[in-house]
Structure 1
Amino acid sequence: MCGIVGRVNADAAKPVSLDELRAATRRVAHRGPDGEGLFCEGPVGLGHRRLAIVDVAAGAQPMHCPEDRLTVVFNGEIYNHAELRSELQARGYTFRTRSDTEVLLHGYHAWGDRLLPRLRGMFAFAIWDSAAQRLFLARDRVGIKPLYFARLPSGDLVFASEVKSLFDFADVPRAVDPSAVPAYLALRYVPGPRTLWRGVRRIDPGFFLTFDRGGRISARQYWDVPVHASSGQPKVDLREEAERLEQLLRETVRMHLMGEVPVGLFLSGGIDSSSIGWAMKQAEPSSLKTFAVGFDDGDREEELRYARLVANVLGAEHREVRVSAQAFRDGLFDLVYHLDEPNADGACIPLMHLSRRAREEVTVVLSGEGADELFGGYGIYRRLLAIERARTWMGDVLGTAARATLPWVTHPKLRRYLRMVDRPLEAHYFGVGRGFPDELLVEAFGEDAVRTLADGFGPLWARSEGAPALHRLLYTDTRVWLPDDLLIKADKMTMSAAIELRVPFLDHVMLENAWRLPPSAKVQGHVGKVLVRRALRGKLPDAVLTRPKKGFPVPIGRWLRTSLYGACREQLLATGSFVRDLLGAPFLRRLLEEHRRGERDRTEPLYALWVLEVWQKALAAPRETPLWRNEVKRTAPTLFDAPRASDADAEPIRAAPDEVEP
């Protein structure tokens, strides 16, 4: 795991500043404390910070192949690099190292962009082709590794693992994109390819981008979630599929253990991380190190008890870390700085502290992320499926009852479900997590805010049309929530401690196997992850296998009523604060008081606003105009857009279906 940076100038006579390239590279030194490398060739510059895991002695980057005139910087791991190396050697390629980085160099020379479907791993990399005068940027299928880029008015292109590196190039503007603010507040994150910076974009998962010295930029999708793969397969033999999943889990986890450094496991005591721990123990029966997190005031004690139970069954060396409200407050600025772009998912807090504790003993950790999105683990899926069935049976009667009840309900989740009853999935489902509920979004940004948000998700719903309702939900979350919230936070929090996180459930072979299965293999009645539970029967304690999904409860809501109320209020209402200028002091005071008095649960809106305020102080620039608030309201939330004016000649990062590689 590493940090990468680069720049390609459109003008051949304009050299890249070595000082700026070095500063941008050192900005992500936390991602790679084991070494630094720079490559400058006139108008082209590449930078790399290394966390040495594979071929520790000889795998330094940027890696250059003089025969092929290719240079690469790479962040991630290629788990099938040995297999690809053998294939390339059979074609006559000679290797100087044992690293997966060199496999990328020769593989790109041999196959071009057709290399990407051959890769099994997590990756974000850049290859400069000196002969063709072309930059090639690629990101893994589901977005495990981040990659940002910006096209400058001069026609130059800059890219990096983290946005903050881009601003070390003097001509990269640091300006907030007002039209992305409502989307952030609605969802707690900004859905890609956008960011909260004007002109800065993510390369979407499953895409590659090319940029030539003539200034031409294009993007193409090489992989998409196979949402229709289960069509025509209504039933499967669960026993056979459970055996298949068990074998695939063992194989995938074994591949994810590659490297020359200590490996551990983030263990919650739930079925996802516990199943990874079981497979790790099968692959390497020697000592397993597990790490779990709780809170000083007793929250998550049940989670810790289950984690200890599983660790004991696995014979693991178990470690625990506890987080207090004071530790959260003291670390909030650092947390937001490392998040790089605002993300108000409360799980970031324990994950940052857990990563720092784990780094004392290991360099790599595995976790269970992705199982919920593959196998229908979230409770909201089962509730929405029940609502869809009820809508089919009862028609308008259910919607009428929901509308009549809504004014009397104050609980945010119950209000959310009542609104869902009255509308089809496409009109109301924007992912697992929400920040501002619909009524606050409308109050803050106008009547069109919710409709515009729904319109942004429209292309994704269109691609899943005709698939089962469960798979449509899973597709939307795998394309948006998973890469833009869950995986970004996981990468940024672990890399803040220079620790590499690996997620075996999101291996594309595992993923494609799950998507060929019908919904009945995933959700039955009130039970999710049916096949995972079946596959691990007899291997994990029954108490773990039958335990309902618990999520990752963080006591932010209680803290915001008690020990953190004053700190939050002070920052949100300070004269000249970012969010006060945006929403006004009366609006903020009302949210704070409603939450403090227990009248409404405003945890998610308040935490989203606090993170936004701290982010503005840590990373963003001041507002460009006193009319900034009006600009936010005027633009409203727009998502999944084509590149802005500075990218006028670029193709949209979200390619049309007919651009997808076969």
Structure 2
Amino acid sequence: MCGIAGIFHIGTAKPVDPARVRTMTDAISHRGPDGSGVWTAPGVGLGHRRLSIIDLEGSLQPMGYADGRFQIVFNGEIYNFQALRSELEAKGHVFATEGDTEVILAAYAQWGEACLSRLNGMFAFAIYDQADRRLFLARDRLGVKPLFYAALSDGSVAFASELKALLVHPLLRRVPDERAVEDYFAFGYVPDDRSIVKGVRKLPAAHHISLRSEGGLAEPQRWWDVDFSQRSTAGQGALEEELRAIMREAVSSRMVADVPLGAFLSGGVDSSSVVALMAEQSRRAVTTCSIGFDEAALDESSHARTIADRFATDHHSRTVGADQFEQIDRLAEIYDEPFADASALPTLSVCELAREHVTVALSGDGADEALAGYRRQVFHAGEERVRALIPQTVRGPLLGTLGKLYPKADWAPRPLRAKTTLLSLAGSGEAGYADALSVTGPDARGALYSDAMRGTLGNYRAEDRLIELMRRAPTRTGLDRAQYADLTFWLPGDILTKTDRASMAVGLEAREPLLDHRLIEFAARLPDKYRVRGGQGKWLMKRAMEPYLPRDILYRPKMGFVTPISAWFRGPLAGEARAMGSRSALARTGWFDGEALSLIAEEHIAGRRDHGRLIWQMLMLDKAVGRLFPV
């Protein structure tokens, strides 16, 4: 696992200062504390920071191939590199190292862009072809590894694993993108391909882009997509066995490392399944790490201990208190862009704990998206069945009117919020699911914006891009479309961003076996009844894991990392909440109505309303703006 950065000049071969590239990589030294390297040629410079995982003494980057024609900087792991290496050796390729980086180079030399479909792994890389003066940037299928890029005023394009490496370039103008602010308030993060800094873009998951010495900045091209349009006809028993086999191989391939390796263990279905399959294939005790909370209602550590005891793991646990808010400034520094998922705090804690014992940790990320494990997906599938029974001409006027008249009940679980359900049913399925994914709805956002901000945004509404994404998705059912949105929009923007930045901040490599593309493609072909049944998501996975895991682990209610943010803003962070209306970095932007922000804070502190999540969003935006756009 590593950090990469580079500069490429379009239209000229002007030299690149190696010191500038080195400054960029130094800004992300946490991603690669074990070494660094810079390579330059006329018109191009590539930089790398290394976290040594495989071939510890070799595989230094930037790395050349084919007498130096191709140069690469690479962040990630290719899990099938040994099989690919054998195939390429049969075609005459000769290797000087034992790692996966050189295999990518040989694969690109052999197949060009088509090499991407042969790679099973997580990756973001840049390959420069000196003969064609072409820079090729690519990102993995699900977006596990990040890649930012920006066109600069001197005609160059700079790229890097994290935004902070671009920010040290003197030609990058620090101007905020108001549409990114709208996106952030809708979803709690800035999704691909936008960035909070205007002119900076993220290469979307499963895309590549080619930059040539002549011509402008091309648009990224999609090279893979998850297809829900086909259905398997196999029976339940055969599907269970196939799923176990795919999961077993996905875990096994991610256990290859020349450094200590372990796993995150929450005690939920996903991480417990990964640990069970690791224990089955390991000759020694698996190292597991979990975080407990000092509030019983939030604590899952007893479930993690149950799994640790069942599989005799080398288990490490740490209890964290509700005072994690002391890490807020560090969190803002780690994520660069505003990021409102409060579970980033315990995620950082478990990564810190894991790094004390291992260098690589396997996680359970991805199963909820792939196999319909979120309650919102199950609920959406039910809503879609209702929409299919009642014509839109009836639903819209009738349910829309009832929804407007019904009182709000934000305190209740979503299935019991009749107002939310009625309004959702009145519209399209895509609009309903976009609303389910949003953190702060359009009306609430609009009430907070200043007149100037509303004028700047015009007709732009963050949910529209997600609605269009779902409408164009290769799917059959409402459940398909919900999962497609989660896999292609929510997963890279929230879950994988959270895990990548938190793990890389402490020099830990996180691997996600349940995001193996073969598992994703298998799950997308499952009939709905094997994903959701009797109100249970991940139905087939739970059945497949019954030989390994106890029923009280498989079928207990889902929890997840929870942080007591509402209590913080009525206690130690009340002053931070009050400051946002007048004394914060946000107040200087002119984006918001200061009186509206003050009212939100006072209502929450007094206990009249629960605005904890919204205030957390505001606080994280305030911290990011203060860091990125200082006065």
TM-score, structure 2 normalization: 0.93
Cα distance per residue 1:313-359 (max 9 Å; x no partner): 11112222233343x23211111111121110011010111111111
Q: Tell me what 1:649 maps to.
A: none
* In structure 1, distance between residues paired with 2:561 and 2:12: 51
Contact 2:227 2:524 in 1 (8 A): yes
Q: Tell me what 1:317 maps to.
A: 314
Q: Tell me what 2:517 maps to.
A: 508
Q: Tell me what 1:355 maps to.
A: 351
Contact 2:369 2:487 in 1 (8 A): yes
Contact 1:402 1:422 in 2 (8 A): no
Give the direction of change, closer, same or farther, for the CA distance of 1:300–1:407 in structure 2 (3 Å limit): closer
Q: Tell me what 1:19 maps to.
A: 19
Query: Residue 430 of structure 2 is aligned with which of 416, 426, 444?
Result: 426
SS in 2 for 1:539: coil
Q: Tell me what 1:629 maps to.
A: none
Q: Tell me what 2:387 maps to.
A: 391
1:441 and 2:450 matched: no
* In structure 1, distance between residues paired with 2:362 and 2:481: 28
Cα distance per residue 1:337-390 (max 9 Å; x no partner): 111211100110101111111111100111111100111101111222222223
Map 1:515-534 to 2 at 5 A: 515-534=524-543
Q: How far has the Cα of 1:278 moved from its partner?
A: 0.5
* In structure 1, distance between residues paired with 2:361 and 2:342: 20
Q: How far has the Cα of 1:589 moved from its partner?
A: 1.5
Contact 1:333 1:618 in 2 (8 A): no
Give the direction of change, closer, same or farther, for the CA distance of 1:379–1:567 in structure 2 (3 Å limit): same
Query: Residue 243 of structure 1 is aligned with which of 228, 241, 244?
Result: 241
Q: How far has the Cα of 1:451 moved from its partner?
A: 7.6
Letter in 1 for 2:461: T
Give the direction of change, closer, same or farther, for the CA distance of 1:408–1:433 in structure 2 (3 Å limit): closer
Contact 1:186 1:437 in 2 (8 A): yes
Q: Tell me what 2:222 maps to.
A: 221
* In structure 2, distance between residues paired with 1:576 and 1:503: 37
Q: How far has the Cα of 1:299 moved from its partner?
A: 4.5
Map 1:394-413 to 2 at 5 A: 396=394, 399-400=399-400, 402-411=402-411, 413=414
Single out whichever of 59-68 and 156-165 deviates more from structure 2.
Answer: 59-68
* In structure 2, distance between residues paired with 1:521 and 1:103: 38
Letter in 1 for 2:308: A
Q: Tell me what 1:378 maps to.
A: 374
Map 1:630-641 to 2 at 5 A: none
Cα distance per residue 1:407-452 (max 9 Å; x no partner): 4545485354342122111223227643213321232345998983
Q: How far has the Cα of 1:282 moved from its partner?
A: 1.1
* In structure 1, distance between residues paired with 2:566 and 2:584: 25
Q: Tell me what 1:30 maps to.
A: 30
Q: How far has the Cα of 1:220 moved from its partner?
A: 1.6
Letter in 1 for 2:470: W
SS in 2 for 1:126: strand
Q: Tell me what 1:287 maps to.
A: 285
Contact 2:355 2:506 in 1 (8 A): yes
1:125 and 2:125 matched: yes
Letter in 1 for 2:448: A
Letter in 2 for 1:427: A
Query: Residue 491 of structure 1 is aligned with which of 482, 500, 505?
Result: 500
* In structure 2, distance between residues paired with 1:120 and 1:48: 22
Letter in 1 for 2:281: A
Contact 1:410 1:600 in 2 (8 A): no
Query: Residue 453 of structure 1 is aligned with which of 443, 457, 462?
Result: 462
Letter in 1 for 2:553: V
Q: How far has the Cα of 1:296 moved from its partner?
A: 3.2
Give the direction of change, closer, same or farther, for the CA distance of 1:211–1:585 in structure 2 (3 Å limit): same
Contact 2:346 2:561 in 1 (8 A): no
Letter in 2 for 1:274: S
1:332 and 2:328 matched: yes
Q: Tell me what 2:40 maps to.
A: 40
Query: Residue 366 of structure 1 is aligned with which of 362, 368, 372?
Result: 362
Q: Tell me what 2:150 maps to.
A: 150
Q: Tell me what 2:270 maps to.
A: 272
Q: How far has the Cα of 1:573 moved from its partner?
A: 3.7
Cα distance per residue 1:600-629 (max 9 Å; x no partner): 22122111110000111223344xxxxxxx
Give the direction of change, closer, same or farther, for the CA distance of 1:500–1:59 in structure 2 (3 Å limit): same
Contact 2:187 2:439 in 1 (8 A): yes
SS in 1 for 2:128: strand
* In structure 2, distance between residues paired with 1:522 and 1:408: 32
Contact 1:64 1:72 in 2 (8 A): yes
Give the direction of change, closer, same or farther, for the CA distance of 1:300–1:14 in structure 2 (3 Å limit): same
Give the direction of change, closer, same or farther, for the CA distance of 1:377–1:289 in structure 2 (3 Å limit): same
Q: How far has the Cα of 1:391 moved from its partner?
A: 3.5
* In structure 2, distance between residues paired with 1:309 and 1:565: 38
Letter in 2 for 1:384: H
Query: Residue 555 of structure 2 is aligned with which of 533, 546, 553?
Result: 546
* In structure 2, distance between residues paired with 1:391 and 1:374: 24
1:10 and 2:19 matched: no
Cα distance per residue 1:115-143 (max 9 Å; x no partner): 00000000000001111100000000010
Contact 2:227 2:475 in 1 (8 A): no
Map 1:570-585 to 2 at 5 A: 570=579, 573-574=582-583, 577-578=586-587, 581-585=590-594
Letter in 2 for 1:75: N
Letter in 2 for 1:242: E
Letter in 2 for 1:181: V
* In structure 2, distance between residues paired with 1:292 and 1:260: 23
Letter in 2 for 1:22: R
* In structure 2, distance between residues paired with 1:105 and 1:393: 54
Letter in 2 for 1:222: W
Q: Which has the higher contact order (CA 8 A, sep 6+)?
A: 1
* In structure 2, distance between residues paired with 1:214 and 1:568: 51
Give the direction of change, closer, same or farther, for the CA distance of 1:13–1:510 in structure 2 (3 Å limit): closer
Q: How far has the Cα of 1:549 moved from its partner?
A: 2.0
Letter in 1 for 2:341: D
SS in 1 for 2:546: coil
* In structure 2, distance between residues paired with 1:431 and 1:289: 40
Give the direction of change, closer, same or farther, for the CA distance of 1:240–1:450 in structure 2 (3 Å limit): farther
* In structure 2, distance between residues paired with 1:575 and 1:243: 56
Give the direction of change, closer, same or farther, for the CA distance of 1:468–1:188 in structure 2 (3 Å limit): same
* In structure 2, distance between residues paired with 1:269 and 1:405: 42
* In structure 2, distance between residues paired with 1:57 and 1:570: 52
* In structure 2, distance between residues paired with 1:489 and 1:596: 28
1:617 and 2:626 matched: yes
- Structure 1 residue ranges without an equivalent (≥5): 623-662
TM-score, structure 1 normalization: 0.89
Q: Tell me what 1:647 maps to.
A: none
SS in 2 for 1:399: helix
Identity %: 36
Letter in 2 for 1:227: F
* In structure 1, distance between residues paired with 2:620 and 2:129: 40
* In structure 2, distance between residues paired with 1:351 and 1:509: 26
Q: Tell me what 1:255 maps to.
A: 253
Letter in 2 for 1:225: V
SS in 2 for 1:217: coil
Contact 2:160 2:166 in 1 (8 A): yes
* In structure 2, distance between residues paired with 1:547 and 1:450: 44
* In structure 2, distance between residues paired with 1:451 and 1:402: 28
- Structure 2 residue ranges without an equivalent (≥5): none
Cα distance per residue 1:440-468 (max 9 Å; x no partner): 12323459989833322243122226611
Contact 1:572 1:610 in 2 (8 A): no
Letter in 2 for 1:344: A
